[in-house]
Amino acid sequence: MWAILSVLLIVYMVVAFTYTTRRAQESLCKGVDIVVHDQGGLEFVTVDDISHEIQNENGQFLTKKVGEINTHKIETQLNAIDKIERANCVFFNNSRLRIDVMPLVPVARIFDDKGSYYINREGKKMIADPRYRVDVPIVVGNFDKQFPAVSILPLLSYITNDSTWNSLVSSVKISPRNRDIIIVPMIKGHVINFGDTTMIENKFARIKTMYKEVLPVKGWNFYDTISVKWRGQVVATRYKKNKRNNTATFADSIDYEAVDEATMGGSIHAYSYNVSSTNNEVENKNKQNN
């Protein structure tokens, strides 16, 4: 007896759900509610922007039945916009369409030979626009499928989350020769060859030791490049003056191209370090106190 009642209850629920769904699909859309979750207050995307976008592609919603509106298509359309990180569309029981939009959250700004763009944690690109200025780490260099920009995010995240390094690091450059990561500190006169994103904490510990025990004695302009790319070592390249014109020359080329300068709000400066022969001096931990 209980088994028969259970079967009848299941059948009733299936029929009722099918009938309710069919009626909902046949009813007219009663409105669209758009919510933009702009947690950072960056205003990349507004409600008016989304409304304009979906109306252009889908026509007047209020003249369509719920079943005629493809929510998946709307999500795909919105997610293809570079300023949007994620969009979700769903109909509620009152036949109103709810669209939730999460604007892209930039974690780095990339300058390459084609221009400038922001990326989020998944690597989605948003073209830099003079209307928007986001305070995120700056990376100068070219990336591709074998070496995507997201591959250096662990380093950028470490820098951002450490108050000391966040205040000391000016920008990051990718060497075009071997893709070494070059850190440009706020302290002028030298750069840091970080190598890759392995042993991040250990490498910064070695840099900190160099900053505390060696540079205050040798002088902050004594070396042009400090390298921690090799395990357990700090290798420094010695600073050398050009005898002919008495101007400083450096071992590597670190420069900002004049790319999309207007979008930097005046915060980008041009640095030009010329290639020259230098004297090398290895500073191992055992020699740092000498």
3-state secondary structure of 58: helix
Which DSSP symbol is given to 239? P
Tens of pLDDT along 208-220?
999 998 889 888 8
| DSSP assignment of 127-140 | E--TT------EEE
Backbone angle region of 236, left / alpha / beta, with phi > 0 → left and psi within -120 to 50 → alpha: beta
Structure tokens at 203: 């490498």
Domain with CATH 3.40.50.11690 in the chain: 108-287
- pLDDT-derived band at 25 (thresholds 50, 70, 90) equals low
Tens of pLDDT along 41-60?
778 888 888 888 887 555 56
In 10 A of CB 194, how many CB atoms?
23
Residue type, 250: F
Burial class of 22 by CB neighbour count within 10 A (0 to 12, 13 to 18, 19+): exposed
Q: What is the pLDDT of residue 283?
A: 37
Q: What is the pLDDT of residue 266?
A: 29
d(CA 87, CA 84): 7
Section 234-251 average pLDDT: 53
pLDDT surpassing 90 at residue 193: yes
- pLDDT-derived band at 27 (thresholds 50, 70, 90) equals confident
Domain with CATH 3.10.20.310 in the chain: 26-103
Q: What is the pLDDT of residue 159?
A: 92
Which top CATH class is 26-103? alpha beta
Q: 261 CB contacts (<8 Å, ≥6 apart)?
A: 268
Residue with the two structure tokens 């108050």? 163
CATH number, domain 108-287: 3.40.50.11690
pLDDT surpassing 80 at residue 224: yes
